[in-house]
Chain A
Amino acid sequence: MENTEIELHNIKKAFADGSKKVQVLNGISAKVGKGTLLTIVGPSGSGKSTILSLCNLLQTPDDGEIYVNKLEVRKWDVQELRRYVGIAFQSAPMTKGTVLENLSLPLKLRGKALENPETYLEYVGLSAELLSREAKELSGGQRQRLSLARTLVNNPSVLLLDEVTSALDTKASQGIEELIQRINKERSVTILWVTHDLSQAERVGDETWLIKDGQLVEGAPTKQFFSEPKDERTKDFLNLLRSSL
């Protein structure tokens, strides 16, 4: 890989569950090239969201290093790192206030105003009429789209997407997929996209990872991952989900 954007080096992370310790990530090593659109799949609770939050230091690994643009995340200026690596959370959280206030939050934090809020809403297929609405009152799908638009306002070089279309219908999902692919191609933004939707992971990905039992079970070019998986656990995972459809 000629130009690495993100490198995970033997990452371990455990959480306390009451009195016992749960080892969520148990030694993950991998690289993501600049401009790659990576899709990440795996069972619920396997640590996909945790991997994303390690990439912009919202959490710190217990062991191992994470390099973003060749620099270990703990060596970055924290705020600069978090603008370079943007995240759209699984829960699409909103602050008190209007859609406009939420959308312009990234710039407000730097004392600037957002010039073209309508453009950002348009990107994600939301009507400009929503700008004055209370953000917490939006529907799940609307919040998800607003949350993604808000992350884009910082114009990050790396984009972490956590289940950003789970509350959307097929048509709206397609719109988001097209948007993300466009951002990826036109601006060479590196993308790590966690999704439960296997057909989505297959459609949009350049590369795909399966995270399971604290391990990176298989990481391969997306086509190959889905057509000829090498690891038995990948085959099982794909078969199980396909048969349940």
Chain B
Amino acid sequence: MNLTAIIFSFVFVILALFLSNAFRLGLGKDIIITCIRATIQLFIVGYILKFVFGFDHPFVIILMLLIMILVAAKNAAQRGKEIPYAFWKIFLTIAVVEIITQGFLLGLKIVPAEPQYIISISGMIIGNSMIIANLFLNRLKAEIEMRREEIELVLSLGGSVKQSIFPILKQSIRASLIPTIEGQKTIGLVQLPGMMTGQIIAGADPIQAVKFQLLIVFLIMSAATLTAIILGFLIYPSLFNKEQQLEVF
């Protein structure tokens, strides 16, 4: 794409603004802010990636991954403000998921150990884990509010903290995974996944792009499951105090 093409792509922004105005949707300000943010953020990321790929040093890659995980954990931790150490538990969860998935990918030589592969796949894994952590914490909170009496019943009968929360934990883990699983069912039928689209536009063989996309689908499934389960088991002890009473939410 050359500069004129980029400038012409702003026509779409103007169209959205025009429609928002014509129908008095009141979204004009949001549209402008979103477009400006997207432009700036993506260009910054582009230049950073260019720099990191050029450097090609493990330390720089690890630093980049750490920053990505920190940002993701910070975002997800907003859902669990009430929970002690929520941020660190989410950070640890995403880091472990990242290490496990990259361990398999690189250890089994499924993808080459090159920065562009590591960073772009990690981006997808970490972003997805962040969304799962968000969904999980949201659901956990709602379930606890709804089923507090059940938790206290099990505790009152001499059950352990884990026994009292287990059904709710399981329910929340399940619920947080459903959108990921549902979402993958219609993959490709309506919308082509972004990465595949990108590869095809950039001139890759569609079959090659499909193989790569499949890898990503499978990766995201297992990363999502890992995230929900690890986070669930790290988080639940923080919901109770030392007298084994439900304290959070």
Show the binding face of A for B, using Cβ within 8 Å: 56-60, 74, 78-80, 82-83, 86-87, 89, 91, 93, 95-96, 105-106, 109-110, 150-151, 154
Contact = CB atoms under 8 A, between A and B. Distances in A.
Tell me which of B154, B157, B163, B245 has the highest count of chain A C-beta atoms within 10 A of its own C-beta. B157
B30 interface: no
A105 B157 contact: yes
A136 to B, nearest CB: 10
B66 to A, nearest CB: 39
B239 to A, nearest CB: 15
Contacts of A79: 158-160, 244
5 contacts: A89-B156, A95-B153, A95-B154, A106-B157, A154-B158
A150 B158 contact: no
Nearest to A81: B158
B160 to A, nearest CB: 7
Interface in B117-164: 149-150, 152-160, 163
A58 B150 CA distance: 13
A78 B157 CA distance: 11
Nearest to A79: B158
Which are the 4 A-B pairs with shortest beta-carbon distances?
Answer: A83-B158, A93-B149, A109-B159, A82-B158
A109 to B, nearest CB: 4
A212 to B, nearest CB: 26
Contacts of B154: 95, 105, 109
Interface in B153-197: 153-160, 163, 167
Contact of A58 (B156, B159, B160, B167): B156
Nearest to A93: B149
Nearest to B241: A60
B205 interface: no
Interface of B: 149-150, 152-160, 163, 167, 243-245
Contacts of A96: 167
A87 B160 contact: no
Tell me which of B153, B156, B243 has the highest count of chain A C-beta atoms within 10 A of its own C-beta. B156
B157 A57 contact: no
Contacts of A110: 158
Nearest to B171: A96
Given A60-B245, A96-B167, A106 B158 contact: yes
B156 A87 contact: yes
Contacts of A82: 155-158
A57 B167 CA distance: 23
A59 B149 contact: no
A109 B163 contact: yes
A154 B245 contact: no
Given A58-B155, A109-B163, 20 more contacts: A56-B156, A57-B243, A58-B156, A58-B245, A59-B245, A74-B243, A79-B159, A79-B160, A80-B158, A82-B155, A82-B156, A82-B157, A86-B156, A89-B156, A91-B149, A93-B152, A96-B167, A105-B153, A105-B154, A106-B157
B158 A93 contact: no
A60 B156 contact: no
Nearest to A74: B243
A96 B17 CA distance: 51
Given A79-B159, A80-B158, A93 B153 contact: yes
A107 B237 CA distance: 23
B157 to A, nearest CB: 5
Nearest to A109: B159
Contacts of B159: 79, 109
Nearest to A106: B157
Contacts of B156: 56, 58, 82, 86-87, 89
Nearest to B152: A58
